[in-house]
Amino acid sequence: MNITGQGAWDTGTYTNLFLKLGYDKNEITNRLEETWNELFYGDKNTRIYYPMGEDKGYLLDTGNLDVRSEGMSYGMMMAVQMDKKEEFDRLWNFSHTFMQHKAGRYKDYFAWHCKPDGTQLSQGPAPDGEEFFAMALFFASNRWGDGAEPYDYKAQARKILRACIHQGEDGEGDPMWDPETKLIKFIPETPFSDPSYHLPHFYELFAKYADEEDQRFWKEAAAASRAYLHTACHPVTGLSPEYANYDGSPAPIQPHGDFRHFYSDAYRVAANIALDWEWFRRDHWQIEQSNRIQSFFSDIEMSDYRRYTIEGEPFDEPSLHPVGLLATNAMASLAADGPHADTFVRKFWNTPLRQGERRYYDNCLYFFSMLALSGRYRMY
């Protein structure tokens, strides 16, 4: 694997690991297009996208039958990467119309989930949605140009980021980033984080595209998140908890559950670290970390994936999203240089999209990995 030199930001070149492993270029392109078509327009057991009326659409969390800011922002990122403007605009219009708060303590944040008809189920936001919304909107502005509101993508992205770090300065609400540590919070009101929310590669770009007076903050946030992941990922297994304190230690048990262990949210950490390496190559620890997590899972079949303590002890509880976990383990190969990197990419290539009730989260992670390993998860 390519572990030296500069990242794609400096070179403009993106690693196509499928091609490096001998898969045919046209076959790779067709596989990516087919995956998009299955997710957005496939049969009822596979698709997760649904158009709504003349100008809206949504991604459905098929396991909970609701629409989440996470999924909507993911869908927008998928669409801009694939140059699918109609689907992007439909998703954004739904999100802007039904989910984004126009006033109050959550002004310019997004309700984290709602019904497919747009009725909000909870007003509170989840910051992973906001950061993906903002990044997708900047990419849309750079790729397609800006239109009339709400399709003035760059202005909309800047408005979201402004709220993320300045909310509460007038006495109402809370920011999504802790002002002291520059670390993203789990939700605005909590004094702890979620390691899978940390996207330093996005913050590097926010430092270029956000309001000028906030660009230094985002540069510092990128450095803070990279350092934080060193503490949140176990030094032997590479596993991280779902929720973690600002020092990286597992956060206390919450009223809604125990999130001290490696489970669904945490799968995304490996993918995020790998994409940061692919784009910017600022932290060589990311190579070691990617090798560690692949080594941990190297002797475990996807059918045997479980919940684990961060020390690696398995629970008698199967993974809810084994396809998603395999996908992120494979995406780690963008940074890994160990003996398992090629194997995970081949396993992923040979694994189809998940079908059925729980397919939404798995297949979102699947599509991002398919993009990344094809050299098609790009900065615009």
What string of pLDDT tens digits covers the 380 residues of the chain?
Answer: 444 569 999 999 999 999 999 999 999 999 999 999 999 999 999 999 999 999 999 999 999 999 999 999 999 999 999 999 999 999 999 999 999 999 999 999 999 999 999 999 999 999 999 999 999 999 999 999 999 999 999 999 999 999 999 999 988 999 999 999 999 999 999 999 999 999 999 999 999 999 999 999 999 999 999 999 999 999 999 999 999 999 999 999 998 889 999 999 999 999 999 999 999 999 999 999 999 999 999 999 999 999 999 999 999 999 999 999 999 999 999 999 999 999 999 999 999 999 999 999 999 999 999 999 999 999 99
Query: What is the token pair recorded at 348?
Result: 């992923």
pLDDT for residue 349: 98
Is the pTM for the entire model greater than 0.85? Answer: yes
Task: Pick the closest to residue 71 from 343, 290, 351, 368 (CA basis).
Answer: 368
Can you tell me the distance from the alpha carbon of 225 to that of 192, in angstroms, rounded to the nearest whole number?
13
Residue type, 245: N
Active site (catalytic) residues: 70, 265
Can you tell me the distance from the alpha carbon of 288 to that of 265, in angstroms, rounded to the nearest whole number?
21
pLDDT for residue 268: 98
Task: Pick the closest to residue 247 from 223, 225, 231, 261 (CA basis).
Answer: 231
22 C-beta neighbours (distance < 10 Å), count: 7
278 C-beta neighbours (distance < 10 Å), count: 25
- The DSSP bridge partners found for residue 2 are none
Cα Rg for the chain, rounded, in angstroms? 19
User: Could you tell me how far CA 165 lies from the centroid of its own chain?
Assistant: 19
pLDDT for residue 1: 41
Can you tell me the distance from the alpha carbon of 199 to that of 135, in angstroms, rounded to the nearest whole number?
10
120's enclosing H/E stretch is strand 120-122
Look at residue 101 and give its three-state secondary structure: coil
